[in-house]
Each structure stands twice: as C-alpha cells, then as structure tokens.
Structure 1
Amino acid sequence: RADEPVAVIGIGCRFPGAPDPDSYWRLLRDGRDAVGEAPADRHGDSGGRPGGFLEHVYDFDARFFGISARETERMDPQQRLLLEVAWQTFEDAGIAPSSLAGTDTGVFVGISGHDYADLQMPHPDVVDMYSATGNAQSVAAGRLSYFFDLTGPSLALDTACSSSLTAVHTALRSLRDGECSVALAGGVNLMLTPGLSQALDRGGMLGPGGRCRTFDDGADGYVRGEGAGLVCLKPLSAALADGDRVHAVLTGSALGHGGRANGLTAPRGTAQRAVMTGALERAGVEPGQIDYVEAHGTGTALGDPVEWEALAGVYGRGRPADAPCPVGSVKTGIGHLEAAAGIAGLIKAVLVVRQREVPPLLHLTTPNRHLDWTGSGLTVPTTRRALPAEGTLRAGVSSFGFGGTNAHVIVESAPEPPAPAAGSGAPDGTVHALSLSAHTETALATLAGRYRTHLAAHPGVPLAALCHSANAGRSQLSHRAVLTAATRDELDSALEALIRREPAVDVARGGPADGTAPTVAFLFGGQGTQYPGMGRDLYDAHPVF
C-alpha cells in the first residue's frame, strides 16, 4: 500500500462567495472576484482593509450537533465551521455520517489562527472550561473525531500557510500505512480580530491595493481570506470496490523545509523544487505529463519570481514552445486563506481535472518584468482554457508556509467507472422514491430546494442514482419526507410541493414521534398477491429484495 493512489470521494467547502463545491467551481470558471469589505458582524475595526470574507460565521445550529448554548458561546467559530463542512463532505461522499461511528476514520486538520481565543482570554469573568476546549487547536480535529465517533488518528497541524496541504499529505501517509481506512483532511481559517492583519501589514506582507496580483508587475503583497475545506479520502482500490464516486485521485505528495534561507520567512527556490520533484517521483510521473499547476502564488514582489523560477525549473523544462504548462492561483479571486489556502488550491485542482478546464487568473494586466515569460515553458491563462477531452489529466498543487514548510501534491483525473451490467438499471417507467430528512421542517424545505437546484444543474444524473445516494448516503434525521416520481419533471413538482408545504399525493411527510419506534426495514401490506408479477420490478432492480 506504500504507493497506492488515494481517491477523493467527497468534497466540502465554505469559501468566499462559494458555500459549496458547485458554487466554488462556478465562481472560478466565471472569473469572479469574491474579495470585498469586512462584514458588519466582525469584531473591531478592520481598518477598511478588503478581504475574502465569509458571511454569517457566528451562525451555528448548536442543537443539530448536540452542543449547549453555553459551550457554543465559548467555542471558536473555526471549530463550528469544521463540523458543518465535515458533514457536507461526508454527504458529498455518499456516506451517512452515522455509519462511520466506531470506524478507524482519521481526521487531519490544518489550523493556525486563534483570534477567538484572543477575544476571550483578556476577560476572566467569561472564561471557563469551555473556553479551553473551545479554543484549543488540537480540539479542532478532536471534536470532529468525537462528534462522528471516529477512532483513527486525529491531528491538528500548524505549518502556517501550508497547514491544510500538510494535513492532506499526512492523511495520505496514514492511509498508505494502514492507520486508517478513510480520512478527512483539510483546513480552516477565520479573521475575527484586526490584530494579525495589522502585524502582517506592518511587516510589508499585505498589498496596499487589497488584491493578490499574482505574477503581475504590480504585485505588492497579498490580501487575506478565510474559509474551510475538507476532502474525504479512501485508497483507490477500496473506493472502486465500494462503488464510490471518485472526483479525482491523489498519486503523490511531498513535504520539506527551506532550511537556512535569506530569512526566516524568505522563500527558497531549491526547496520548492525539491518538494515538486519529490511528489512527482512518488506519483511515478514525469513533469511533462502535468497539465496544470496550482501555484502558491501570493502576489508578493519577492515570492512570485522565486516560485516562477522553481516552477520553470521543474514543470517548464523541455516543454515545446507551443505547449507551455498552464499555471494559476486561486488567491487572485478569494484571497490568501492562509491555513486553509492549500485545501482551496487542492479542491480547485480536483475540479480542474474533473471538469477538464482551467479557470482564468485574475488581476494580471502587466506581466511581471522579473519573470522569464518566453523561455520558462509556463503560461498563465487569463481566460478559460479547455483541457483535452479524453485521456488522463494531471495537476500539481503547491502550498508554502511562511515558517518554511513547503508541500506539493499530484492530482490525477478519476479512472473511468466500470460500465453497469446489462439490465442492471431500473426499467423505463419505474417509480423512484427519494427520502429526505433534516433536523427541522425549515431545514427540510431548504434541503428540498437544494435538490431542485441540483436537478436543474445536472440534467444527466439518472433518477435511480440520485435517489440511491439520498436514501443510502445520508443520515436519517427527525423531520422526514419521501417523494415518489417516475420522471425528473414529476420529482421537481414533488420537491416544489414539499418546499411550499402543500399537500401532494406523491409526497409523504413525517416528524418526530413520542417514544422510540423501531426502524422499518420492509413494510408488507398483508393482502397477499394482488396481480401477477406484482413484485417483479422490485426483484429485478433491488438485489436485497
């Protein structure tokens, strides 16, 4: 298992302007800038600095996660956000979170900021035990393991801006060493006080223009951003055996440090090249086989030339003049997410190889005069660029920490799923049942709305697959509805009725019952045979039946 590829089977994220992976891809593809002014709910004066902010970071459904109001008040919103995104990630993977209880699933979280602790600790009258657990970075990972009842490794990692990609690298090692069978990996970053921004600004790291102008001649520093992202990982052989949807495959990774450079926070090109070549060697691929590189790309006067030279020395070498390697950086659109920057870049790379398209890099108007643009073997697309429609695609992802820790990961497009066996699909005219559940009636209606949006955005998804994922891959919560439909239009109408809370013959609703009722596995009418072949469709379409 030492070099087995690892499948990305689930993605969850909350990034500026993008509350989920689908909206993240739309933001990237459309070339939208999500950097803006600080929301009104932030503590202290932001000094007018723009940033890549999330909305409503203090909102949290504490009852859903079984956390008291008092504990929630002391709990870092970074921990709250991780719980929400973890749930989203497991559901995207088609895994009912409750089914993971007691498994050796590992948790690997990159986290560096501690703004919420800085807000609490100067006030002894409000500090209590929950302040300790609510702000300990170790608990950012431990709380996920506790809530989902996961018994595998549980680590919080801080390597500054490379924290979340370091977490992914560590998860890959743990999976390949057999410490865990499934892993949840990524990172989080929130900006809740102005203190760190002031320190970074006085250190000359933040750009006066409030944008990351990566590889531009006007690059003068980065703009801070916040968010959270997680991926659910499983060895590829296990993912294929389990019938999981595979977004992409991680084939190699490497981690290293710059050693004694020109300064503690100064980048070192030789160290960057070392992790790139190390990841390529572990993946068993040549630099020329890489179709896209997601650069660290902060847009600093010193960092950009050093990274460009390192990229050219690895990925640009030997490239034909008419086929340079495309390079981009998501920081130009959402800001530098610091501890969550690496996972934002990794998820982007996964989407690039899955969608077979490179999104545009923003804010590049005048190419940096200190970069070799003609002989580097690299190119920076400022408009959408299609990648080959067939064959395996590969991408490299870099993330560098200002403490010197560098990480690089190789991403590969997913293998073709096996063709379904002849006659294994549901026959034409089959009525499908879609089971939905949520913690409240309002949340149930919201979930139905998300399914309507998903249906409209993915017209090619078979109803049988959609219903199976919902029925088998989500935990059953207290407010439930079952919708029946033979066509997409019928399902859309049923979802609309559920949203409007209107009666409909194809929508059955249910809420919490008094007492504890057993779970229903099968329900038989007790009337015996009603017509010849009554159970034939169930027999043909459902092996369990």
Structure 2
Amino acid sequence: MDGKVAIVGIGCRYPGGVDTPGDFWAMLAEGRDCTTPPPDDRFDTSIFWHPNRTPGKLYNRCSGYLKCNVFEFDRQFFKIPPDEANHLDPQIQLLLEVTWEALENAGIPPRSIRGSNTGVYMGVTSSEYLSLTVHPFSNISQYTNSGTNSCMVANRISYEFDLHGPSFSIDTACSSSLYSIHLASEAIRKGDCSMAIAGGVNLMLLPGTTVGFCQAGMLSPDGKCKSFDASADGYCRSEGAGVVVLKPLSRALKDGDRIYSVIRGGTLTNDGRTPGIANPSYDAQLDLVEKACAAAKVHPHNIQYVEAHGTGTKVGDRTEANALGQILGRGRTKEDPPLYIGSVKSNFGHTEGAAGVAGIIKLALMISKSQIPRVVHFSTPNPDIQFDVLNIKVPSSLVQWGGDGTRLAGCSSFGFGGANAHLILEGFPSRNVHLAIASSDKVMESQFEGGTEDESKTIMVLSGNTKAALKEQVERWIAFITDTIAFDEDRFQQSLYTAANRYQHHVERLAIVVKGPHDAVQKLNLLKREEKLKTAVDGKVPEGAERGKLAFVFSGMGTQWWGMARTLALEDPVFRDVIQRFEGVLNTLGVDWSIVDMLTKETDPDKINRTGEMVFYTMCMSGLRREYLRTLNFVQNQ
C-alpha cells in the first residue's frame, strides 16, 4: 500500500471525563470547554495564586485536569507488587491502562502480541513524581529509579506487554507525541517493527512548571486557549494521555481491522537559531509543511483541514496560520472550499507531551465521522491572520466534511525548543466488514429449557480478572446495548463476535445463551441481581491454563463413540476446515479413505470407528464462546 500506515486503535484520557474515543468525539461535537481548577489531590491554588505576574506565584486558576484520581492504579490487573507500584510514576501507570484500552479498541487481545516485533514510542516531557518521592532521601527505594526514569515510560509498556520491537521515550517538549507517532510510522515503513504503539502523556502534579510559564507570560489568565481569536492571550496547560495503534495498511486490511484513518507521511524539522529559543519561526513552519506534503506525495492544494498547534498565543497563532495559508492556500481561488484550521486545545488546553497525539486522535475521528467540529472560544478572528487573503476558515459550528474525493488533512505540533512535526492523514473508504457469525455460534434452543430446533440462540461471553470486574462487565453490557447500539440486531451480533474473538479473555468467565439484544438485557439484569439462569455458565480458568492452547482429542474407544464429532463436522465451518486440511495431509501419506466422508456420510459403525483409531483433531480455540460451544457439542455427541 505504498508505505501507508493505518490507525486501527485509539485509547485516551483527557480532561472533561474523556476516557474513550466515543467520549472524545462527544466532547468535540458538543463543543465543550473542559478546563477546571485543580482537583483536591493536587495542590491548593490559593497558596500560589496572585493576580499579577509575581515571583513564585501563578496568575491563572484553571487548567485542564483529568477527572479520575491519577494516583489510583489497578496494580493487581498488571500483577505489580504494592511497593513497586507505589514508586511507579502515575504517567507510566496511566499509559499502561490506556495502552491496554487502545489494543482492545483495535480488536487485538493484548496477550496475543506477546513476543511480537511491536514497537513502543512514547512522548513525555516531565517527571514531577520523582520530585514528589525523593524527599527525604529515606523515601528512595530499589524501585525509585526504574519507576520514575523517563526511559521507562516506553520500556515499561514493552516489559508489561512482552513486546520485542523498538522501544523508547521521546522528549521534544510539546511536539513529543507527534514525533513519537511519526517515528513509529517510519519504523513500520522500514520494517523495524510489524506494529507500533505510539502516543504520549502529561500530568501536572506540582505547581512549579506552571509558575515558570507564568513568569514567562505564556499562560492565559482565564485558563482558556482562545485559538486564532482576537482575544488570544496565552495558552492553558493541561494533562492527559493518548495512544494510537499503528499497522501497515496492507496488514490492517488483511486482518479485517477497523481503520480510523491512514497516515500518508510527514516530516520533522527544527527552527534552528531564532530571536529566542521559545519563539516560533515563520520560515521554519513554511519549510515544515512543504516538506511534509512532499513526503506524503500530496499537493498542498488538496489539503482540506489542518489540526493546528493553535495554542492561543498572539504570536504563535499568527505565525502558524499565515504559514499554513501560504503553503496550503497556494492555487486556491475564492470559489474553492476554504482551508479549515482548528485546535483541540480550545476544548481542554495544551497537554504538552500528549498534545500531538490528541490532535491525531481528533483528526482520525473527524475523518471517520466526516465532520469538522467547531473551535471553542472563537468569535472574533485574530486581525493579524490573513483569513480572507489566504482563504483560511476557523469553523464556528459543526461542519459536514463533504466532497467526493479523499479526505486529506494535516496535523502540526511544535516544541518550544524548536522541534517541529507535521503529519498528513487521509480517509480510507468505509467498508462493510463482514463479521460472519459461524453457524456453530448458534445453539439449538432445544438444548435448553425445552425449546424447538427452529429457534436459535447466540453465545454471549464476558470475562474479568475478578468476580467484581466480571460483575462490572455485566453492567457495562447492559448500558452498551441500551444506550450505545440501541438494541440494533446487526450491531449486537457484531459486538458479540468481537467480544468473543477480538478481546482478551480473563480468568473469571461467563457465557450466556441469548436470543437478540432484548433477551440479552433481560438476562444480564437477572444476573446483575445474582439470580440463577439455566442458560448461563460461569467459572474460573485454572491457574496457568490461560497461557496454554485448547485442543480436543477424539481417540476412539468403541461403539459408544458412534457419530462422535459429527455435529461439529456438519455445523462448524472452522472444525470442518481443520478436518479437510488434515485429510489432505493423510492423502499425501497414501491413505485411501476419507475422514470427512466417514463423519458426514457413513453410518457403518465399523467404518466410523476407524476414524477413532487416531487423534485427528487438534486445534487452538480463542475465547470462552468457542470453548463453551465445542464443549457443548462434545457433550451432545457422547
């Protein structure tokens, strides 16, 4: 696919309770402002606040903070001992959880990529937790260095998920996570890794950095990023974490993945020597965008939108917007659609090490939704930006992203030390991915509660690391079916398929025979009330068993095995395919009889028993649904 890289999974934590890609899009579509005063688990702003720029003080009260308690971490889920977890930077803890969620969002069971050549590229700009934990020195433990060193932001992910590809943390200030995504994409193109996990993180645990930016006059007194607006007076610091899962486009298509968007290419540059190390360079930004278009093999005129750095500073916005218009507005006329520009920083502030990936997530969602959300706090255009001359437009409402051609968009991120990044993304034609539910996924109701063979039901599987987690999954499924898919039968069946085949199964498991979404909700509510169901089976996987693979062996033990596995051979296409492949192997050895015929056609017990003289079926099973189903069929055929 000419070096194109697909974004197949997204995980995130951003201000405003944005914990999923769905939350992220809802925030954008609704145009919410998510900045707030610091939560109770941080610091008291009243101690540090002063209305004027004063040494040791900060003049803004609001920033973008996560709603969750960043010091809470499910260490048991990752099997991390208490003392080690206590010395593990919350930024690393946050990324472990978000990485898991990104993989599951991609339909990749995290344990399925153990030992794989998967790369990890993470942007990070601070380690305030180290400052919190090393005073007095008696607090330092054997885990302090390994838990707080910035290299561990990436390496801990590789360790916990057992990934063997390249792994490193990147600090280029505010462009760190976009650098990470670009380097990860390039590594995939070069073959350095077969898949990559890329993103960034930023947490504001101490007031010191904010005080420093206040002393530099960079922050907005009201804690709002008023991107491209005449009232822009500085940016708002924020925190968050974002992760994207990247694959070669060709492999994503082969794997049947959902593709949010495709990274065509991009580039990295530096401003070099400017009048000040933190000052943006107009010429450098011209050069950056032009080189990115060349790398992506895209004519600048065809770019329709740019997710800009857009921090809401007078000089920064003016420099960036005019540079974008100069390069991307080239060749446009008044009759052409405008170049739209926007910035997610207007919603929740500048997340610094996690800012670039926030822009990529926004852009990927926009492309997949075919909509451009409005820029919050934009009302009066910055008079220093040549909007009309350059045919640039900032959306003030939710815009439908129309047109017949491929959607093309750019994403910029600038580090305040001069490290710049720009990536170009494109849409990918939506496909009707056929999530076939095999006939063996249907269980005759006659096997339960006296139903007829004409009525069919489907296996629904849930799992969790603990019984409490499994109970929470029951509640989430009820909400998902009721609120999200709204009892849509097709989406319900696809969801069951994905849950069974493309999610990680944990030790506490539950399988329910259901007939459609309404029946599922009824039964889930009964289980929530801890009522027993004949059509539900639960249990715990024995210690260590989840690391192995499941095989069924039909060895033949006499006439009591007549017709053994016949139902599987007739109804289960996966089983039948394995038998046919095994038969091909036997044919090469000169065997002159057919296993398939004996299972599906023969009724002579002597001939049937010949198939029982060998172990003819060994196949790996993925997921409880298939385990339960095969066991059910096995019992029925004894």
Residue 462 of structure 2 is aligned to residue 436 of structure 1:
yes
Which residue of structure 1 lines up, in the alignment, with residue 340 of structure 2? 326
Counterpart pick for 2:484 among 457, 470, 473: 457
Which residue of structure 1 lines up, in the alignment, with residue 42 of structure 2? 42
Whether the aligned pair in 2 keeps the contact of 1:62 and 1:72 (CA below 8 Å) is: yes
Three-state SS of the structure 1 residue aligned to 2:137 is coil
Which residue of structure 2 lines up, in the alignment, with residue 8 of structure 1? 7
The code of the aligned residue for 2:401 comes to L
Which residue of structure 1 lines up, in the alignment, with residue 604 of structure 2? none
Q: Distance in 1 between matches of 2:565 and 2:5?
A: 49
Three-state SS of the structure 1 residue aligned to 2:144 is helix
Runs of 5+ consecutive residues of structure 2 not aligned to the other structure: 50-59, 443-453, 555-559, 580-638
The code of the aligned residue for 2:417 comes to G
Which residue of structure 1 lines up, in the alignment, with residue 20 of structure 2? 20
Residue 303 of structure 2 is aligned to residue 271 of structure 1:
no
Q: Give the CA deviation at 1:393.
A: 1.2
Which residue of structure 2 lines up, in the alignment, with residue 136 of structure 1? 149
Residue 447 of structure 2 is aligned to residue 413 of structure 1:
no
Counterpart pick for 2:136 among 114, 123, 129: 123
Q: Distance in 1 between matches of 2:349 and 2:433?
A: 41
TM-score, L = length of structure 2 = 0.80
Whether the aligned pair in 2 keeps the contact of 1:257 and 1:405 (CA below 8 Å) is: yes
Which residue of structure 2 lines up, in the alignment, with residue 302 of structure 1? 315
Counterpart pick for 1:197 among 210, 218, 242: 210
Which residue of structure 1 lines up, in the alignment, with residue 354 of structure 2? 340
Bigger mean CA offset, 223-232 vs 508-517: 508-517
Deviation string 1:120-150 (CA, Å, 9 cap, x unpaired) is 2232010122111111000110000001110
Residue 79 of structure 2 is aligned to residue 53 of structure 1:
no
Q: Distance in 1 between matches of 2:577 and 2:534?
A: 28
Residue 355 of structure 2 is aligned to residue 356 of structure 1:
no
Aligned residue pair count: 543
User: Residues 443 and 224 (structure 1 numbering): CA distance in 2 closer, same or farther, change over 3 Å?
Assistant: same
Which residue of structure 2 lines up, in the alignment, with residue 169 of structure 1? 182
User: Residues 374 and 105 (structure 1 numbering): CA distance in 2 closer, same or farther, change over 3 Å?
Assistant: same
The code of the aligned residue for 1:371 comes to I
Whether the aligned pair in 1 keeps the contact of 2:485 and 2:492 (CA below 8 Å) is: no
Residue 140 of structure 2 is aligned to residue 113 of structure 1:
no
Whether the aligned pair in 2 keeps the contact of 1:315 and 1:377 (CA below 8 Å) is: no
Whether the aligned pair in 2 keeps the contact of 1:276 and 1:408 (CA below 8 Å) is: yes
Whether the aligned pair in 2 keeps the contact of 1:435 and 1:483 (CA below 8 Å) is: yes
Q: Give the CA deviation at 1:519.
A: 5.5
Whether the aligned pair in 2 keeps the contact of 1:432 and 1:463 (CA below 8 Å) is: no
Deviation string 1:269-324 (CA, Å, 9 cap, x unpaired) is 12112222222222222122222210100000110100111111122223232421
Bigger mean CA offset, 410-419 vs 481-490: 410-419
Q: Give the CA deviation at 1:180.
A: 0.3
Which residue of structure 1 lines up, in the alignment, with residue 572 of structure 2? 538
User: Residues 513 and 153 (structure 1 numbering): CA distance in 2 closer, same or farther, change over 3 Å?
Assistant: closer
Whether the aligned pair in 2 keeps the contact of 1:12 and 1:85 (CA below 8 Å) is: yes
Deviation string 1:232-290 (CA, Å, 9 cap, x unpaired) is 10100111112222111111111000111121010011211222222222222212222
Whether the aligned pair in 2 keeps the contact of 1:319 and 1:325 (CA below 8 Å) is: no
Counterpart pick for 1:470 among 499, 513, 537: 499
Q: Give the CA deviation at 1:536.
A: 4.3
Three-state SS of the structure 2 residue aligned to 1:184 is strand
User: Residues 311 and 514 (structure 1 numbering): CA distance in 2 closer, same or farther, change over 3 Å?
Assistant: closer
The code of the aligned residue for 2:497 comes to H
Q: Distance in 2 between matches of 1:12 and 1:542?
A: 38
Whether the aligned pair in 2 keeps the contact of 1:161 and 1:341 (CA below 8 Å) is: yes
User: Residues 177 and 531 (structure 1 numbering): CA distance in 2 closer, same or farther, change over 3 Å?
Assistant: closer
Residue 417 of structure 2 is aligned to residue 403 of structure 1:
yes
The code of the aligned residue for 2:390 comes to S
TM-score, L = length of structure 1 = 0.93
Whether the aligned pair in 2 keeps the contact of 1:10 and 1:92 (CA below 8 Å) is: yes
Whether the aligned pair in 2 keeps the contact of 1:44 and 1:194 (CA below 8 Å) is: no
Whether the aligned pair in 2 keeps the contact of 1:77 and 1:116 (CA below 8 Å) is: yes
Q: Give the CA deviation at 1:528.
A: 6.1
Which residue of structure 2 lines up, in the alignment, with residue 99 of structure 1? 112
Deviation string 1:471-527 (CA, Å, 9 cap, x unpaired) is 222222121111222312222333333444332333322235578697545599x88
Which residue of structure 2 lines up, in the alignment, with residue 378 of structure 1? 392
Identity %: 38
Q: Distance in 1 between matches of 2:530 and 2:577?
A: 34
Whether the aligned pair in 1 keeps the contact of 2:568 and 2:575 (CA below 8 Å) is: no
Counterpart pick for 1:211 among 211, 224, 227: 224
The code of the aligned residue for 2:472 comes to T
Q: Distance in 2 between matches of 1:331 and 1:350?
A: 16
Which residue of structure 2 lines up, in the alignment, with residue 317 of structure 1? 330
Whether the aligned pair in 2 keeps the contact of 1:424 and 1:541 (CA below 8 Å) is: no
The code of the aligned residue for 2:476 comes to R
Structure number with bigger Rg? 2
Q: Distance in 2 between matches of 1:205 and 1:373?
A: 24
Q: How is 1:463-542 mapped onto 2 (pairs within 5 angstroms)?
A: 463-511=492-540, 513=542, 520-521=550-551, 536-539=570-573
Counterpart pick for 1:257 among 270, 277, 281: 270
Runs of 5+ consecutive residues of structure 1 not aligned to the other structure: none
Whether the aligned pair in 2 keeps the contact of 1:35 and 1:211 (CA below 8 Å) is: yes
Q: Distance in 2 between matches of 1:530 and 1:430?
A: 23
Q: Distance in 2 between matches of 1:33 and 1:485?
A: 41
Whether the aligned pair in 1 keeps the contact of 2:120 and 2:168 (CA below 8 Å) is: yes
Greater RCO (Cα-Cα under 8 Å, separation 6 or more): 1
Counterpart pick for 1:62 among 75, 88, 106: 75
User: Residues 457 and 521 (structure 1 numbering): CA distance in 2 closer, same or farther, change over 3 Å?
Assistant: farther
Structure having the larger proportion of residues in helix:
2
Q: Give the CA deviation at 1:533.
A: 7.0
Q: Give the CA deviation at 1:392.
A: 2.1
User: Residues 537 and 304 (structure 1 numbering): CA distance in 2 closer, same or farther, change over 3 Å?
Assistant: same
The code of the aligned residue for 2:466 comes to T
Three-state SS of the structure 2 residue aligned to 1:193 is coil
Which residue of structure 2 lines up, in the alignment, with residue 291 of structure 1? 304
Deviation string 1:157-195 (CA, Å, 9 cap, x unpaired) is 000000000000100111111110000000000000000
CA root-mean-square deviation: 2.7
Bigger mean CA offset, 147-156 vs 513-522: 513-522
Q: Distance in 2 between matches of 1:453 and 1:212?
A: 34
Whether the aligned pair in 2 keeps the contact of 1:110 and 1:157 (CA below 8 Å) is: yes
Which residue of structure 2 lines up, in the alignment, with residue 233 of structure 1? 246
Whether the aligned pair in 2 keeps the contact of 1:94 and 1:474 (CA below 8 Å) is: yes
Three-state SS of the structure 1 residue aligned to 2:96 is helix
Q: Give the CA deviation at 1:417.
A: 3.0
Q: Distance in 2 between matches of 1:220 and 1:532?
A: 74
The code of the aligned residue for 2:257 comes to D
